[in-house]
Structure 1
Amino acid sequence: MSTSATTTYKHVTADGVGIFYREAGQSDAPTVVLLHGFPTSSRQFDALIPLLAPYYHVIAPDYPGFGRSEAPPPSSYEYTFDRLSRTIQCFLAEIGIDRCSFYLHDYGGPVGFRTFLAKPERLQALIIQNANAYDEGLGAKWAAIRDYWEAPALHTDVAEAFLSLESTQGRHTLGSAHPERYNPEIWEDESARLAQPAQRDIQSRLLYDYRTNVASYRAWQNWLRARQPPALIVWGRNDPSFVAAGAQAYLRDLPDAELHLLDAGHFALEEQLDEIALLMLSFLGKHLGTQGDPIAPKRDLLDT
């Protein structure tokens, strides 16, 4: 087996949109698809990918309107979670991924759930990191966002606050016990991108459409309860947006899932990368093996 952790950077057209993605590992190894959150991109997985790639084929796309993927205007591309998922389904078909495990973070939750509910046989295992699917997982800020859903024209201030520099930084650092582990260039880059008029339009539309995700929670829960996919839940317990109760709620429908509440915030990889990588390698090795063999990861792999 190759021990190369080299990441390659690629483009492909899917659903009529240019999609940028990161890829690493051997193509004949089990595939892990990493679905990023808001307002970032597959860049959030830069440090995780080399830790998985010696064992797995790793794919991390940018959604349309995010990162280095194409951002067509809303007049030609409908910015909804249904459409993002359709595009990701087309992307996976285009690059030939029929079976895979998914890592869901934040917006990766609604994109991912729609993707594997559309083709359940695709899913091998599930890693859930601060990707909410339960009402009790929504933190206090969601009360104002619900007001925005009810009357967006009357609550434009909610969308403005959601896209502000303060909120963008807060998604990384609020609740963090380790603020020194966060690179400020990341949220500065994210904020600069969000300040672009086209991005504000795109992201406001997705924020409004997020209401469809909450309306879908019951269907997703029913699917999990019926299907019982192998699941690892790694959750930054200090996240003020998707609170720890949302992680614990998964156990109602997935009683055999592994649950780990970590001393981290919303972007838990930035604080607990080594711990999450080890948990993932152990979990995936148990359920998928690697090239047919189970994994016995060693902590010193992460220290090289």
Structure 2
Amino acid sequence: MQIDGVGIFYREAGPKDAPTIVLLHGFPTSSRQYETLIPLLAARYHVIAPDYPGFGQSDAPDPSSFSYTFDRLAKVTDDLLARLKIDRFSLYIHDYGAPIGFRLMLAHPDRIHALIIQNGNAYQEGLGKKWAGIAKFWADPEGHPEIVDTFLSLETTIQRHVAGSTHLERYNPDAWLSEFAHLSKPGQRAIQTALLYDYRTNVAAYPEWQAWLREHQPPTLVVWGANDPSFISAGGAAFAKDVPDAEINLLDAGHFALDEKNDEIARLILDFMAKHPER
């Protein structure tokens, strides 16, 4: 679908008259990260999983003609949902999907039914050790090209999946090979550098997101890969401070927890959604 002049790819499954769950993917993947979860949810729910501009099978316009910021990615996602006439939904947010999802929540609090959080950070204590180096890049992007080199490298792409894992046999190497192939395309360095620099706006917005949670108290399920070195387990546990009734599950898994715990996470989601039906 064309949104703001950009071709946006999305996956859709399940009955259209069922409650909708919107799955927002992380970096550097796409809606493909949900390919094993979608069939398990679609028997009961209408599922939408978009690719953001610059990711997956969506268009990747040059940064000279498209502003790669989280504000812009959220606007495109918002416009896509409006075009699909989806005005009430639950959100599954992971990694980059969290800042996009929180922008949707702040813009349309009446549209959010429930929140499912999987290594989607909103707390300072959830930032792992690597973020100290990224903060140096935010302060002086021209002076730290090595941060971008590492961020986009094959080794880092692999480690996003396997770091901290106790279940390496559950991983499909095609995941990181396809991600690295995408990151190696012409224009991707500029796109991902722009988004990495803009990520500083998300950290600055944490207090606003936390205040939103305290005010609105959405039904909240946390399914957090506790072995993630990037968004550490303290970030998952922290949601209980602002949403005391949140269901917190710290799982023996890494950043891409679905790679290791797809069936368990699906069961947790289905049980959680059954306890919080749309009225």
TM-score, with normalisation over the residues of structure 1? 0.91
Question: Quick one: which of 158, 164, 174 aligns to 2:163?
Answer: 174
1:111 alignment counterpart: 100
Is 1:134 aligned to 2:129, yes or no? no
2:239 alignment counterpart: 250
2:28 alignment counterpart: 39
CA distance in 1, matches of 2:238, 2:41: 28
Is 1:154 aligned to 2:137, yes or no? no
Question: Quick one: which of 178, 196, 202 aligns to 2:185?
Answer: 196
1:300 alignment counterpart: none
CA distance in 2, matches of 1:193, 1:277: 28
How many residue pairs match? The answer is: 279
Shift of 1:231: 0.2
Cα displacement string for residues 91-133 of structure 1 (whole angstroms, at most 9, x for unaligned residues): 0001110000000000000000001211111100000000000
Mind listing any 5+ residue stretches in structure 2 that lack a counterpart? none
Task: Please give the root-mean-square deviation of Cα atoms over the aligned residues, in Å.
Answer: 0.8
1:30 alignment counterpart: 19
* Residue aligned with 1:206, SS: helix
CA distance in 2, matches of 1:288, 1:61: 24
The within-5 A match list for 1:274-285 is 274-285=263-274
The within-5 A match list for 1:83-94 is 83-94=72-83
Given that 1:225 and 1:253 are in contact with CA atoms closer than 8 Å, whether structure 2 keeps it comes out as: yes
Given that 1:36 and 1:44 are in contact with CA atoms closer than 8 Å, whether structure 2 keeps it comes out as: yes
Question: Quick one: which of 216, 219, 222 aligns to 1:227?
Answer: 216
2:46 alignment counterpart: 57
Given that 1:15 and 1:91 are in contact with CA atoms closer than 8 Å, whether structure 2 keeps it comes out as: no
1:295 alignment counterpart: none
Shift of 1:192: 1.3
Alignment-mate amino acid for residue 111 of structure 1: I
The within-5 A match list for 1:60-71 is 60-71=49-60
CA distance in 1, matches of 2:104, 2:191: 21
2:6 alignment counterpart: 17
Shift of 1:197: 3.1
1:261 alignment counterpart: 250
CA distance in 1, matches of 2:271, 2:174: 32
Mind listing any 5+ residue stretches in structure 1 that lack a counterpart? 1-11, 293-304
The within-5 A match list for 1:282-293 is 282-288=271-277
1:5 alignment counterpart: none
CA distance in 2, matches of 1:57, 1:210: 30
Alignment-mate amino acid for residue 68 of structure 2: Y
Alignment-mate amino acid for residue 17 of structure 2: D
Cα displacement string for residues 229-257 of structure 1 (whole angstroms, at most 9, x for unaligned residues): 00000000000000000011111000000
Shift of 1:16: 2.1
1:206 alignment counterpart: 195
Runs of 4+ off more than 6 Å: none
* Residue aligned with 2:90, SS: strand
* Residue aligned with 1:197, SS: coil
Given that 1:31 and 1:101 are in contact with CA atoms closer than 8 Å, whether structure 2 keeps it comes out as: yes
* Residue aligned with 2:8, SS: strand
2:132 alignment counterpart: 143
Given that 1:132 and 1:247 are in contact with CA atoms closer than 8 Å, whether structure 2 keeps it comes out as: yes
Question: Quick one: which of 213, 217, 222 aligns to 2:206?
Answer: 217
Shift of 1:288: 1.7
CA distance in 2, matches of 1:131, 1:192: 24
TM-score, with normalisation over the residues of structure 2? 0.99
